Structure 1
Amino acid sequence: MDIATAQSMVLETLQRAANQNAEILKPAELKLKEWETEPGFYSILLNIFSNHSIDVNVRWLAVLYFKNGVDRYWRKTAPNALSEAEKTTLRQGLVSNFREPINQIATQLAVLISKVARFDCPREWPELVPTLLTAVKSEDPLVQHRTLLMLHHVIKTLSSKRLAGDRRLFQELTSNVFSFVLNLWNSHVENFLKQVNTNSSEMGATLEKALLALRILRKLTVHGFKKPHESADAVHFLNMVFDRAKTMLECRKTLPNRSSNLVELSEKFIIHLTKVLIAILEHHPFSYVDLIQPSLEFAVFYVFTPSGESVLFERFIIQCLNLIKGILLCAEYKPAKIVEETKELGTLRAHQIKMTFFTADTLTEMCRKLVTHYFLLTRDDLELWDSDPESFATDEGGESWKYSLRPCTESLFLALFHEFRVTLSPVLLEMIQNNHALVSPSDLSAILRKDAVYNAVGLAAFDLYDEVNFDQWFSTTLTQELNVKGDNYRVIRRRVVWLIGQWTGVKLSPELRPALYAGTLPLLQGDEDMAVRLTASNTLKLAIDDFEFNTDQFLPFLEPSFALLFTLLKEAHECDTKMHVLYVLSFIVERVGFAIRPYSGSLIQYLPLLWEESAEHNMLRCAIVSTLVHLVKALGTVSENLSPFLLPVIQLSTDVHQDCHVYLLEDGLELWLAVLENSSSMSHDLLHLFRNMPPLLEYSSENLRTCFYIIQANILLSPEEFLNVYGEIIVSSCSDMLSDMRSEGIVMTMRLVEMCLRASPNIATDLVKPMLPRIFEAIYQGEAYPMVMSMYLSIMARILLCSRDVFSQVIAKVAQGIGETPEVVLNKMLDVWLDKMALVTQLERRKLLGLALASLLTAQSSAVLERFCGVLLNVTETLNDIIKTDDMGIQIDSLLLTEHSSPGQDDDVDYETEHDHRRKQLAVSDPVHTIALRDYFQAQMSELQNQVGASHFEQLMQTVDIETMEQVREYVVL
């Protein structure tokens, strides 16, 4: 097929792929997908998007397909990689056209070129950057802009490469192009300023080019120099940033009458100048030391003095505040506790500059301005509160301080207060004093001032610990203010209940907790403002989350708290709000445990409705599943009544074929485990649920431990029924996993196998038989970590105690596999057993191995009798460990259990679930806890004497050394 025909086919297919009709679009997309790996396909795409007469949407699609192809097929080692010859042609074509008329396509083209540059520049594409730098000098404004756009994306991509070789190449590139780009930037800025004066129509285009050049300079300065302060050009550029920012701020004031787009561009330019400073501070703190003083002077002048106010806009304020905070918190600028001991000279200089700048007067002024100006709720805040109280009350967490003014001011205030607590504490205490008295509900400005001061006191709670008598304040003014009604006073009520939450974990006496609960409850009621209710719910959560929380103190408030929070949960509209309130409810359930039972009915009825409503909100569903985990644990077997709701929730959450399992799996597994642990019997639906488990064992390594707990819980709940249905699948999955497991995983798997053997020895012995050769061979090899070997020996011992026939069959199978006789394998395994038994430290396992060894005495095996001394030594050493003297002076086996005693490992359980009870019952029936090793040893020795006769027995005794013999006689009558 000739090129023209191929091109028209691709063009026609792209046109169909740009169609909105799915019936036309889908086949076209499939066809394009088919062609992705065809030689020449990307050359045709290049021709199509380079042809400006073709429809924009078609060209846009062609660029996108080319860009995706670069990701998949440009790397030399990629399957179906493009040929080197085609790539050479494509590279030439990509930089032959700098006159793309459509902005969006130009941007995609620039990104596409940068992706190729990431693979090929500079080795396979050394001419790229020189070509772009030449084209930038063009007289054609469009060519200038498009080339700068490409250069920006190329530099951005190359600067992000982190390997040492790539970084060296980028530093070399920087040294070659920096001064050129700096001059280019300067000339565009100067042009723009002249054009502003002459009111030229080219202003916008010139400023765009200046911004692109600035973006390039930022990447070059941050990533292209090891130490920017050692480059005269970089230092020159960084010092110019302040002057350019001042000029542009003044210039921006004159622009509003001209064009909103121009104002937006000028703001972007100013913000980018501050980004340069913040990036250098972050990546090269010691190169920034000389810039600390001008940075602080610059930021403080604009944000904290009346002279700078006229040119401010919000994003610029945020950048300035973050710059100050970055300097305050920079770890490299913090000296040793004894300043004179600081070795790094840059640190000392930075510290001295900071201390000189932040005088008491400057700090006081900054603190006052932050609290009395920036902390004040604005008209916009109050309007948002009225129109959308849930959004208003949602606390902006994470990194919102980087882009949102209120969190940003609060974050700087905290940093300042923490660093200069001694200077600022008296300032804030004075503000508290000045705003201490109750204010009139009609005086909004006084209310807002008080709100701002209380906000500061809450933020600085830890630093004000010794300065404020919070108990007294809480018991007098704050409690009074919570009770004042009036529309404006909602501001104070919300702030006071928030303040109490902030101080609860810092300094509130335990005896005042009941007063806190009593004061919070009215703020949760339905007639209260929604934002106040949400804040009160969070304070309640903080109070309950405190390490001094006393359940008994809270119980009188439990029923009303739960009822009010439940009502709040139902009345909230936003998904985030429901999650927040549900989290508080869930927290209460977790903390009070069984005490929640009488009050949980309403929540139990509502959660299925909320589950249905939240089908599109996976994070809310996560919160619901998490709450259900705590509820099931608190309700115990009562939760079985919830099975019709719980089991479908678990089914959905743990089904790997459902998209939502990505969000719900971890909590879903916890819920599954909690339901099993609190079930009194196995139901058909609960058994059926296990069909979700095999894919999880294949897929989910991070949740494997919980999956194993679920399997163990199922085994304990209904051993025969469960193992008959799913035993083979479990053993097969465990076998498959063992080959890829580390020691910890092997131990977990062996514990699961052991649980099967303990819970249902008859069924499990046949079930685990396919795994046993691997385990026996590992013992034969004798090389495993002590904990792993301990588990292998335990499995072998249980098989031996369950069925000698199976034990012999597995020995024969191992012998066949390695080409040895069964006698050789048994001999070697016994040697390893006797050698490694001393490494088994857990008493239950030592006794298990002791019982198994004693059982072998009567196996009529020459291999055992040849090691008679070793067997006796290990059994008696085990007896030394487990025999204790009771209060009556009688020696007893310390591991023997009765129906009423419990194994020590369960003593630390806070409350006993059905599962705990089943574990104890299993322990009570375990040979380790039912057979007295001493008695069994005596019986086996007597039986051996009968088997071999007195004279042969005497010969055997002659093989035992004197010390071992003395120990044996302590326990056995011979």
Structure 2
Amino acid sequence: MDMDSASSVVLQALTQATSQDTAVLKPAEEQLRQWETQPGFYSVLLNIFNNHMLDVNVRWLAVLYFKNGIDRYWRRVAPHALSEEEKTSLRAGLITNFNEPINQLASGIYSFACSLWSHHTDCFLQQIYAREEAAALSSLERTLLSLKGSNFCTHSKLTRGYTDNTQCRQVGPDSTCREKLEKTIILYTKVLLDFLQYHPCAFIPLIQRSLEFAVSYIFTPAGEGVTFERFIVQCMNLIKMIVKNDAYKPAKNIEDSKPESLEAQKIKTAFFTHPTLTEIGRRLVSHYFLLTEEELAMWEEDPESFAVEETGGDSWKYSLRPCTEVLFLDIFHNYSQTLTPVLLEMVQNLQGEYDINLNVNKLYNAVGLAAYELFDNVDFDQWFKNQLLGELQVNHHRYKLIRRRVIWLIGQWISVILTAFTSILNSCPPVDDFEFRTEQFLPYLESIFGLLFQLLQQVTECDTKMQVLHVISCVIERVNIQIRPYVGCLVQYLPLLWKQSEEHNMLRCAILTTLVHLVQGLGAESKNLYPFLLPVIQLSTDVSQPPHVYLLEDGLELWFVTLENSPAVTPELLRIFQNMSALLELSSENLRTCFQIVNAYLYLSATEFLQNYAESLCRSFCDLLKDITNEGQVQVLKVVEVALKVSPLLGAHMFQPLLPAVFRGIVDGERYPVVMSTYLGIMGRVLLQNSSFFSSLLTQMASECSQEVDQLLGSVIEMWVDRMDNITQPERRKLSSLALLSLLPSDNSVIQDKFCGIINISVEALHDVMTEDTETGTFKDCMLMSHFEEPKLSDDEEPPTEQDKRKKLLALEDPVHSVSLQQFVYEKLKAQQALMGDQGFGVLMETVDTELVRQLQEFLQGL
């Protein structure tokens, strides 16, 4: 493509491609697409977007086509790859374009240019070195945009450096270049940090110089007046990453260490000498742990905001104080033998003094951070009695900060003590949160809870309220029902706090967590909270409301515990279930909690719940079963099983659309044992407790399968007997035995043909559930429950929920717990004998293995 003639043609096509008229736009786009593989096309595009006189939209489109072409055709092996001559020309053209006036265009250009100019780095620095300030400003800005797009830098550039000291100039704080220079410096340090992070072994030759550079600027007078906060953070991160880098640590067995690790360790050891470490430790504590004037002013003006420290996550990468503390921790951990005497000496020098200038704050901060390393070197009990206790009693108005720090220090030390005890007592059961004993805490419960509530009312910061709510939740969780006399004020305040936190979803999450523990502590009395509680649940679990993104998980948990502790269903509580269909459609990680909620409704009021929601619930389950894992399938079917358990007649009718699939799964011999076990549990409930429905289902399935009813029944019984070992729960094994025995007495030849299998699983179930009375030598069914008793609880045991009580009452009516398997087998065999006569029954019994007959007679003796 001839450059002179091509420029005007391409420019015209680009201009037309920016048109809003599709009749003009489409042909232009097609023409540009055809030119993409033409030699010289990208050189023309380069000239067009370098021409600042042209329309911005045209130039922007040229940049986009240029970028797409570079992505597709720059590689040598790509079809229609660019020639080396054109590549060289494009590089040269890009490296001259440092005066792009439109920032968006500059950013777009340099987002792809970074991969093409790595060998032109000196050109940038030469322009920066120029004495003309306007040119320097322009170059700095363009360099910055370029560096933002660069994620790499060659090893040779990093190691070669620049020998001409005149390139290093100090810029005063008032210079117009200062801000851009600082940004450029930060980007250069980011290159170092990224190189260290992703290529630690290749960075080893730079360890010595990097440490010298960073330590010199932040721990010696060399940095005074020239460093700035973000640069200090980057230097500290550089030191931290070198000190803590796993690639630089030799293996425990030196012979197994890599040569690179040994080399890095040698460099670090040579650098971190005793004097160097001592100076670093002293400077960290005395200079960087010292509270600034801004921090002191903030403490006086807004102590609550001051107390909400920026910690956790990656805050150490960007903020000075967290960065300082993390560096101190890492250095102290790796060089504790050197730094422990240094820190103890600094503390000893302040012993016996009460420092209203707050210098002691930095030392207590350092001791608290290093508590684990100092544990064996400090007699904390004596220090507390002789010094810290006195600090807590100083009433000077500026000493509030020291009292706060002392309390924090005590908390740090207690944590170390508990960690030590946990390690020592590893043969004991897990320590239950500081071996908490409710009876020891109760004398202080009223005052502590009252003060926490006052603090919750007084603070204004969301983070502080969240922390207070967390402590309140912990207290309620530990004391459980003992909290009931003291929660009246909190119950009255939470609705107001919920309303005030409308724009603060994380605070609302904390409120939901507190409500969860509050409902658990109140038990059945939580019904008094329903005017506030139920609208909260409604909002938190409504996927059509934006806050659900934050509140859903905690809202579902609150919904569940509310149902668990509800003494009776209410219309409002029932109405919330309208949210469930949309929740089930999400198929999220909250499905298990959703199933727990459905089960809770079934236990609470099966008839009313099924009449209102079974149809929509069944549709949701059918949709879920189409695309769900085996584990998820089991969870869905367990809900159906609970429905059949609490309401055998209505449950079978309401979930009828699901049952044919269960039936087919049994006949086809479902391979996944847990799924098969659930299938048999569901069908066992139907057969045992709703035989007429089972008969109609059998007829329906026989018609669908084009089989005789008796033939299909025989297949079901045969598969049931064959897969009995898939059932591991004793309750389900007994249920299967009761269900198949319920087919007796029968003169049906198919059932009589399967008689041996029915007796076989019955004997297996008898072995599972029968226990022998050693005194009388007789057997009894261990699953029988005759009456409901309130359990006697120890002080540390939680009382049963209302749902626990409902489950116990339901068990009294469940055949698994109300029918003696031993008696049931005996009665069914006697009925079959009466039907067939002694001779016919004897022939039938001869089909059973003699050993099984012997075991059966042993179980049935005495009846």
- The TM-score normalised by the length of structure 1 is 0.79
- Change over 3 Å in CA distance of 1:810–1:666 after alignment to 2: same
CA distance in 1, matches of 2:152, 2:182: 22
Find the partner of 1:934 among 802, 822, 835.
822
Aligned to 2:280: 366
Aligned to 2:171: 254
CA distance in 1, matches of 2:307, 2:54: 43
Find the partner of 1:677 among 538, 561, 564.
564
Unaligned runs of 5+ in 2: 1-10, 422-430
CA distance in 2, matches of 1:325, 1:597: 50
Query: Per the alignment, in what secondary structure is the counterpart of residue 310 of structure 1?
Result: coil
Aligned to 1:342: 256
What is the CA-CA distance between 1:290 and the residue it aligns to?
Answer: 0.6
Aligned to 1:78: none
CA distance in 1, matches of 2:315, 2:58: 32
Aligned to 2:136: 203
* Alignment-mate amino acid for residue 315 of structure 1: R
Instruction: State the Cα deviation string for residues 136-168 of structure 1 (Å, max 9, x = none).
Output: 244884499998744531267xxxxxxxxxxxx
What is the CA-CA distance between 1:607 and the residue it aligns to?
Answer: 0.7
Contact 1:242 1:298 (C-alpha < 8 Å) held by counterparts: no
CA distance in 1, matches of 2:419, 2:155: 56
Unaligned runs of 5+ in 1: 14-34, 47-80, 157-173, 222-233, 512-543
Larger mean CA deviation between 691-700 and 143-152 belongs to 143-152
CA distance in 1, matches of 2:135, 2:228: 25
Aligned to 1:227: none
Find the partner of 2:270 among 356, 375, 381.
356
Query: Per the alignment, in what secondary structure is the counterpart of residue 718 of structure 1?
Result: helix
Larger mean CA deviation between 783-792 and 769-778 belongs to 783-792
CA distance in 1, matches of 2:59, 2:800: 64
Aligned to 2:123: 187
Instruction: State the Cα deviation string for residues 890-935 of structure 1 (Å, max 9, x = none).
Output: 311011112136999x999732111111111111211000000111
Aligned to 1:717: 604
- Change over 3 Å in CA distance of 1:478–1:185 after alignment to 2: same
Aligned to 2:363: 453
Aligned to 2:292: 378
CA distance in 2, matches of 1:677, 1:107: 66
CA distance in 2, matches of 1:103, 1:614: 50
Query: Per the alignment, in what secondary structure is the counterpart of residue 309 of structure 2?
Result: coil
CA distance in 2, matches of 1:722, 1:943: 39
* Equivalenced residues, count: 830
Instruction: State the Cα deviation string for residues 765-805 of structure 1 (Å, max 9, x = none).
Output: 21122211100100111023211111111111110012222
CA distance in 1, matches of 2:797, 2:444: 27
Query: Per the alignment, in what secondary structure is the counterpart of residue 485 of structure 1?
Result: coil
Contact 1:843 1:881 (C-alpha < 8 Å) held by counterparts: yes
CA distance in 2, matches of 1:107, 1:429: 66
Aligned to 1:952: 840
Instruction: State the Cα deviation string for residues 217-258 of structure 1 (Å, max 9, x = none).
Output: x5233xxxxxxxxxxxx33211245879x977x52x334343
CA distance in 1, matches of 2:796, 2:65: 63
Contact 2:110 2:145 (C-alpha < 8 Å) held by counterparts: yes
Contact 2:233 2:317 (C-alpha < 8 Å) held by counterparts: yes
Aligned to 1:238: 158
CA distance in 2, matches of 1:84, 1:8: 14
CA distance in 2, matches of 1:8, 1:110: 12
Aligned to 2:191: 276
What is the CA-CA distance between 1:377 and the residue it aligns to?
Answer: 0.2
Query: Per the alignment, in what secondary structure is the counterpart of residue 488 of structure 1?
Result: helix
Find the partner of 2:401 among 477, 491, 503.
491
What is the CA-CA distance between 1:205 and the residue it aligns to?
Answer: 1.2
CA distance in 1, matches of 2:635, 2:574: 23
Contact 2:769 2:782 (C-alpha < 8 Å) held by counterparts: yes
1:470 aligns to 2:380 (yes or no):
yes
Contact 2:196 2:203 (C-alpha < 8 Å) held by counterparts: yes
Aligned to 1:917: 805
CA distance in 1, matches of 2:33, 2:59: 26
Alignment of 1:426-437 (within 5 A): 426-437=341-352
Aligned to 2:741: 854
Query: Per the alignment, in what secondary structure is the counterpart of residue 225 of structure 2?
Result: helix
Aligned to 2:425: none
Alignment of 1:118-133 (within 5 A): 120=72, 122=74, 123=78, 132-133=90-91
Find the partner of 2:725 among 813, 829, 838.
838
What is the CA-CA distance between 1:373 and the residue it aligns to?
Answer: 0.6
Query: Per the alignment, in what secondary structure is the counterpart of residue 771 of structure 2?
Result: strand
* Alignment-mate amino acid for residue 798 of structure 2: D
Aligned to 2:426: none
Contact 1:734 1:749 (C-alpha < 8 Å) held by counterparts: yes
CA distance in 2, matches of 1:899, 1:83: 86
- Change over 3 Å in CA distance of 1:949–1:911 after alignment to 2: same
Contact 2:731 2:816 (C-alpha < 8 Å) held by counterparts: yes
Structure with more contact order per residue of length (Cα contacts < 8 Å, sep ≥ 6): 2
1:410 aligns to 2:362 (yes or no):
no
Contact 1:590 1:634 (C-alpha < 8 Å) held by counterparts: yes
Query: Per the alignment, in what secondary structure is the counterpart of residue 311 of structure 1?
Result: coil
* Alignment-mate amino acid for residue 342 of structure 1: D
- Change over 3 Å in CA distance of 1:707–1:331 after alignment to 2: same
Aligned to 1:696: 583
- Change over 3 Å in CA distance of 1:39–1:831 after alignment to 2: farther
- Change over 3 Å in CA distance of 1:613–1:247 after alignment to 2: farther
CA distance in 1, matches of 2:605, 2:62: 64
Contact 1:672 1:710 (C-alpha < 8 Å) held by counterparts: yes
CA distance in 1, matches of 2:397, 2:342: 30
Alignment of 1:112-151 (within 5 A): 116=68, 120=72, 122=74, 123=78, 132-138=90-96, 141-142=99-100, 149-151=107-109
Contact 2:480 2:798 (C-alpha < 8 Å) held by counterparts: no
Query: Per the alignment, in what secondary structure is the counterpart of residue 892 of structure 1?
Result: strand
* Alignment-mate amino acid for residue 654 of structure 2: L
CA distance in 1, matches of 2:309, 2:98: 50
1:97 aligns to 2:29 (yes or no):
no
Query: Once superposed, what is the RMSD of the aligned Cα atoms?
Result: 3.5
Aligned to 1:638: 525
Query: Per the alignment, in what secondary structure is the counterpart of residue 294 of structure 1?
Result: helix
What is the CA-CA distance between 1:689 and the residue it aligns to?
Answer: 1.1
Query: Per the alignment, in what secondary structure is the counterpart of residue 201 of structure 2?
Result: helix
Contact 2:738 2:821 (C-alpha < 8 Å) held by counterparts: yes
Aligned to 1:296: 211
1:287 aligns to 2:202 (yes or no):
yes
Aligned to 2:110: 152
1:767 aligns to 2:654 (yes or no):
yes
Contact 2:18 2:58 (C-alpha < 8 Å) held by counterparts: no
Aligned to 2:413: 503
* Alignment-mate amino acid for residue 296 of structure 1: L
CA distance in 1, matches of 2:15, 2:162: 53
What is the CA-CA distance between 1:729 and the residue it aligns to?
Answer: 1.9
1:219 aligns to 2:107 (yes or no):
no
Contact 1:622 1:663 (C-alpha < 8 Å) held by counterparts: yes
- Change over 3 Å in CA distance of 1:413–1:378 after alignment to 2: same
1:735 aligns to 2:622 (yes or no):
yes
CA distance in 2, matches of 1:309, 1:720: 79
- The TM-score normalised by the length of structure 2 is 0.89
What is the CA-CA distance between 1:946 and the residue it aligns to?
Answer: 1.5
Alignment of 1:387-406 (within 5 A): 387-397=301-311, 398-406=313-321
Contact 2:769 2:781 (C-alpha < 8 Å) held by counterparts: yes
